[in-house]
Amino acid sequence: MKDLTSAVKLFLRALHEPLLTKHNRKLFLAAALTSDSTLLKKHVRDLPIANRDTLCFMMLHLQRLAVNERETKMNLQNFATSFGDTFYGSDETIEISDVNNFALVNLQLLSLETSFYEETLQLTIDKLLFGRETISSSDLTIKRDAINKNL
């Protein structure tokens, strides 16, 4: 598992733009320092779609691993610390005081409800399938009927 974790961290650090973009870094820090989960959720939703969805997927995955703490030997706090600055990139604009707070932001992101991340990911799926972020039950029926017709 250690090798896989290292590979994921290496991939995330190699991204041209970090998951939590340079533009939004201070916003996430401010929301975490005030323990404002509503604001934190807003900032997640405001990320570029690829960043948002990757972050949501990562949070869901780490939450699942933390639930299995007996096997993984890692809880949310451990994952928050372990991933440290991984989601933020590294450049000369990062202040040392910010680096010390990245684990706090990570912990608060990991502590958000699983349903928040699942619903946020569903927005992308809905947009891809239906061309908009909200759907009605009639849309589902039409889409299901179209799929069944093509089978």
pLDDT digits (tens, 9 = 90+) for 22-72: 889 889 999 999 999 999 999 999 999 999 999 999 999 999 999 999 999
Q: Which residues contact 117 (CB under 8 A, 6 or more apart)?
A: 56, 57, 59, 60, 63
Residue 139 confidence (pLDDT) above 70: no
Rounded to two decimals, what is the model's pTM? 0.80
90: pLDDT strictly greater than 80: no
Q: In this predicted structure, what is the pLDDT of residue 150?
A: 54
Domains and CATH numbers, the chain: 3-129 (1.10.555.10)
Give tens-digit pLDDT for 103-124. 999 999 999 999 999 999 998 8
The secondary structure of 103-142, three-state, reads HHHHHHHHHCCHHHHHHHHHHHHHHHHHCCCCCCHHHHHH
